[in-house]
Structure 1
């Protein structure tokens, strides 16, 4: 299987995983809505023109052309305006925002007749509405937990490095180079020239037995311009090769794992190790997912600054932060790189790449969980925030012996929903451009 095909498979796996995550997210809304008696008229994965649909009972199930989300359509998402039972846009609603609210309310009211009024979403008790709207994000959180358990407890987490070669670079690129492919003018790396292959296990260097990657790294850095013997084990057979490390500039990596901007001249072979996989106990999985949730929440809180950094990288010379926001194209590229295995592989190489690909899908579900809980429309969190505010209002009215205020009018948040939607479109366009011109690259 050639590299291009492996890239395509990796991208397809990521796209399928994202589509299934979105579809299951909407199932998380659909099942409790039907269980509580709400009439659901549509279940759709994607937006835009409908590619395929089929009606079963009172619900139309389908797939749309733009696979960047999904929705279920429940009748009565917006309560009727107080003292306006006929749901008509009133002459007094002359303001642009007020007209927008009334039009959204009227469009919702036209979806059902008097015979279905008792099945409207807004008529449900507050807690049931919260369960329906939280169902989608909760499904994504559960998917993240399951996928993380498969990656870390089933396959194993990369903890440290082994002496197995994961990659053998074909050419030497300067430390300041931004190139990602070799040209005919680039010199071959000592490792490639000596015949080292991915999957080789290093056993000795310059006559010294090696027991750790850190030890091997020190021996390589200290040796340069002199032929030395390197012992490897290839498919269970011992093999000794002659290699001549070269002196080259390499970036200095800080304690945080990021380049410091400085470089140092050291001996260089052009190889990278395979991380050592160790299975993590299932009891540690909630903590791992919790850290991921905390990390994504931090990105959301600092999203304006993060997007500014992305713009600086896309339109300037700043480096792209690998921990920053990434778009759908970037996710596909990462999935392709993760699945592009070396020509010669070991079971450890395959498992390590599978771990990273599954972890990527788990991270996508964490992101879907966190972003959908943002307390603004059109996110699920906007409806949840409205329901929680209704609980507070009703509790206050009971304490002060005031009349029941009725459902919170979430339709008043529609101007915010439109503004947020425009911002999301702008963010998507920026990330699309950045993922093309300055993509996030895998470390190592």
Structure 2
């Protein structure tokens, strides 16, 4: 079922993003009097469709993209049979270069606007829920082995990133921060401030499952719900109980309890419980999986900031373009060899996993906004067959007054298609490799 939900979310997201992208091409094309032969969400074979006026609207069986076929244009269909004849007034090639450029950039423009609208909507309707660093610093941070290797220690308190005071804990794990050159944390340890450098290849290492936690707040907790047929329920633990020690070892934080349970699977242990101001002990047998059978309630208090409409427009726009800046920084890291392409690149399978196996509309729309900006960025790359490649040739034509030859455009389109197909195969193969070996 989880796989079906992941797939459904991915298909719906692609349908929204691709449909709007192709609409961004079609509407200006029709506005300028170009004949649009087909508008497709998904690639052939055709599942269903209808024709209205001169345009056939269809849905393809392969939901990994889409296209708009405009008469007289060298596109991914590579249908060039009629391009040797005299251009007709309704054809793409007969229109001024600036009109063709607007058509080419229409999809990217709509994707950018979609990303901005989504992020503005999220800011306006939901506000921003975050964990204040002041709340985290009451207890400090829990560190993984990777964080320890960097120089961080259990209980460190976060003060600043790159010299900028830290207010929201979430900013301490912002990929944009990790992708900057010479990044560092300022932390407080035993009353002394220290600088902890961030390795240039940290993003690469965070791609490994064992490093995904990296750092997180130390979570004080109480028991919120107990499963009656599990060890916690059989031992008489109750909602509101606070586990403070196990076999005499302090476990005031959830991470410490998890470590203890993991190291004592299947054994009988003595838990010290704080209940209504009194301490009691309970004998309990840990399951072979290292669990007790209760749901914790974490005691750190989050904060919510609400935005006015004007503030939401600013905040949403900033959030949308932050996605692009992160992509640019990531490309820079990859070109410098500080990030692995295989660990950084995800195809449809990897993206579906990000959506998750439960349907969460906030997460769904957040990812649609993010992926819409990524789609715009990728399409703007100056690669033949992408919108950015067409835009480069059209800009050359506008500046020089000379259009590239039809043969050149056909050849460039073929090269671009080979590159994109190769990238698609690589992305699928990389996803499968990660599923098997990660």
TM-score by length of 1: 0.59
**The one of 276, 281, 286 aligned to 2:317:** 286
Contact 1:306 1:325 survives alignment (8 Å):
no
Match of 1:335 in 2: 355
Q: Secondary structure at the match of 1:375?
A: coil
Q: Say whether residues 1:436 and 2:435 are aligned partners.
A: yes
Contact 1:24 1:136 survives alignment (8 Å):
yes
**The one of 371, 380, 393 aligned to 2:387:** 380
Q: Secondary structure at the match of 2:131?
A: strand
* 1:125 shift after superposition: 2.0
Match of 2:398 in 1: 391
Q: 2: CA distance between counterparts of 1:275 and 1:326?
A: 34
Match of 1:252 in 2: none
- CA displacement, residues 86-116 of structure 1 (integer Å, 9 cap, x when unaligned): xxxxxxxxxxxxxxxxx95843527xx76x7
Contact 1:43 1:71 survives alignment (8 Å):
yes
Q: Say whether residues 1:148 and 2:119 are aligned partners.
A: yes
**The one of 19, 23, 27 aligned to 1:27:** 23
Q: Say whether residues 1:276 and 2:296 are aligned partners.
A: no
Q: 1: CA distance between counterparts of 2:386 and 2:280?
A: 59
Q: 2: CA distance between counterparts of 1:28 and 1:241?
A: 66
Q: 2: CA distance between counterparts of 1:437 and 1:159?
A: 35
Q: 2: CA distance between counterparts of 1:161 and 1:201?
A: 26
Q: Say whether residues 1:138 and 2:109 are aligned partners.
A: yes
Q: Secondary structure at the match of 2:385?
A: coil
* 1:367 shift after superposition: 1.7
Compared CA separation, residues 379 and 161, structure 1 to 2 (3 A):
same
Match of 1:425 in 2: 424
Compared CA separation, residues 301 and 357, structure 1 to 2 (3 A):
same
Q: Say whether residues 1:159 and 2:109 are aligned partners.
A: no
Q: CA RMSD in A?
A: 4.6
Q: 1: CA distance between counterparts of 2:74 and 2:9?
A: 38
* 1:284 shift after superposition: 1.4
Q: Secondary structure at the match of 1:48?
A: strand
Compared CA separation, residues 280 and 71, structure 1 to 2 (3 A):
farther
* 1:57 shift after superposition: 0.8
- CA displacement, residues 186-206 of structure 1 (integer Å, 9 cap, x when unaligned): xxxx9774359xxx9979665
* 1:134 shift after superposition: 0.9
Q: 1: CA distance between counterparts of 2:74 and 2:357?
A: 45
Compared CA separation, residues 371 and 437, structure 1 to 2 (3 A):
same
Q: 1: CA distance between counterparts of 2:337 and 2:372?
A: 20
- CA displacement, residues 304-337 of structure 1 (integer Å, 9 cap, x when unaligned): 88999465xxxxxxxxx5xx22211122223234
Q: 1: CA distance between counterparts of 2:373 and 2:352?
A: 17
* 1:117 shift after superposition: 0.4
1:26-425 aligned at under 5 Å gives the runs 26-78=22-74, 106-109=80-83, 117-160=88-131, 193-194=231-232, 206=244, 216=253, 227-230=271-274, 273=298, 276=302, 278-279=304-305, 281=307, 282=312, 283-300=314-331, 309=340, 311=342, 321=343, 324-337=344-357, 339=359, 353-394=360-401, 405-406=402-403, 409=406, 410-425=409-424
Q: Which runs of 5+ in 2 are unaligned?
A: 134-144, 147-207, 211-221, 246-251, 262-268, 287-293
Q: How many residues align?
A: 317
* 1:406 shift after superposition: 4.3
Contact 1:7 1:335 survives alignment (8 Å):
no
Q: 2: CA distance between counterparts of 1:418 and 1:270?
A: 51
Compared CA separation, residues 221 and 40, structure 1 to 2 (3 A):
closer
Q: Which runs of 5+ in 1 are unaligned?
A: 80-102, 163-173, 179-189, 208-214, 233-237, 248-268, 312-320, 340-352, 395-404, 440-444
Compared CA separation, residues 149 and 203, structure 1 to 2 (3 A):
farther
TM-score by length of 2: 0.59
